[in-house]
Amino acid sequence: MDAAHIRNFSIIAHIDHGKTTLSDRLLHRTGTIATRDMEAQLLDSMDLERERGITIKAHPVTMLYKARNGETYELNLIDTPGHVDFTYEVSRSLSACEGALLIVDAAQGVEAQTVANVHLAMKQNLLIIPVINKIDLPHADIPLAKQQLEEILAIPAELAILASAKEGIGIEEILEAIVERVPPPKPTLLRADATAGQAGQGGLQALAFDSYFHTYKGVVTHVRVFNGELRAGMNIKLLHSGKNYEVKEVGSFNPKPYARARLEVGETGYMTANIKTAAEVKMGDTITDARNPSGILPGFKEVHPMVFSGIYPINTADYEHLKVAMGKLQLNDSAFAYQAETSVALGFGFRCGFLGLLHMEIVQERLRREYNMDIIATYPSVVYRVTLTDGTVKEVDNPAFLPDVTYIERIEEPMVRAFIICPNEYIGDMMALVSEKRGTLDHTETLDSKRVMLHNLVPLCEILIDFHDRIKSITRGYGSMDYEHADYQESEMVKLDILVNNEPMDAFSCIVHRSKAEGRGRALAEKLKEVIPRQQYQVKIQAAIGGKIVASESVSAFRKDVTAKCYGGDVSRKRKLLEKQKEGKKRMKSIGNVNIPQEAFIEVLKT
Q: Which residue has the higher pLDDT, 291 or 193?
A: 291
| Residue 156 confidence (pLDDT) above 80 | yes
| Residue 435 confidence (pLDDT) above 60 | yes
Q: How confident is the model at residue 88 (pLDDT cuts 50, 70, 90)?
A: low
Q: How confident is the model at residue 354 (pLDDT cuts 50, 70, 90)?
A: confident
| Residue 492 confidence (pLDDT) above 80 | yes
pLDDT at residue 411, rounded to an integer: 85
Q: Quickly count helices (H) and strands (E) in the chain.
A: 13, 32
- At 214-228, the pLDDT tens digits run 778 888 888 888 888
Contact 343, 388 (CB under 8 A): no
Q: Which residue has the higher pLDDT, 332 or 467?
A: 467
Mean pLDDT, range 532-547, rounded to an integer:
77
Paired sense of beta strands 127-133 and 161-162, if any: parallel
Contact 530, 596 (CB under 8 A): no
- Rounded CA separation 512/495 (Å): 6
Mean pLDDT, range 294-311, rounded to an integer:
71
Pick the CATH number of 495-606 from 3.40.50.2300, 3.30.70.2570, 3.30.70.120, 3.40.190.10: 3.30.70.2570
Least confident of 161-165, 182-186, 533-537: 533-537
Fold entry, domain 307-378: Alpha-Beta Plaits (3.30.70)
**Average pLDDT over the chain, rounded to an integer:** 76
Contact 493, 399 (CB under 8 A): no
Write the CB contacts of 290 (distance below 8 Å, at least 6 apart in sequence): 235, 236, 237, 244
pLDDT at residue 50, rounded to an integer: 45
Q: How confident is the model at residue 341 (pLDDT cuts 50, 70, 90)?
A: confident
Contact 40, 2 (CB under 8 A): no
For domain 3-181, the CATH architecture is 3-Layer(aba) Sandwich (3.40)
Least confident of 89-98, 234-243, 438-447: 89-98
Cis peptide before 255 (omega within 30 of 0): yes
CATH number for region 385-491: 3.30.70.240
Contact 196, 190 (CB under 8 A): yes
Q: How confident is the model at residue 368 (pLDDT cuts 50, 70, 90)?
A: confident
Mean pLDDT, range 256-265, rounded to an integer:
81
Mean pLDDT, range 431-457, rounded to an integer:
82
pLDDT at residue 603, rounded to an integer: 62
What is the residue extent of each domain of the chain? Answer: 3-181, 205-289, 307-378, 385-491, 495-606
Mean pLDDT, range 439-444, rounded to an integer:
82
Q: How confident is the model at residue 205 (pLDDT cuts 50, 70, 90)?
A: confident
The total number of residues shown for the chain amounts to 607
- Rounded CA separation 73/182 (Å): 12
pLDDT at residue 201, rounded to an integer: 47
Backbone angles phi, psi at 384, to 5 degrees: -100, 145
385-491 has the same fold as 307-378: yes
Mean pLDDT, range 40-67, rounded to an integer:
58
CATH 2.40.30.10 fits 205-289, yes or no: yes
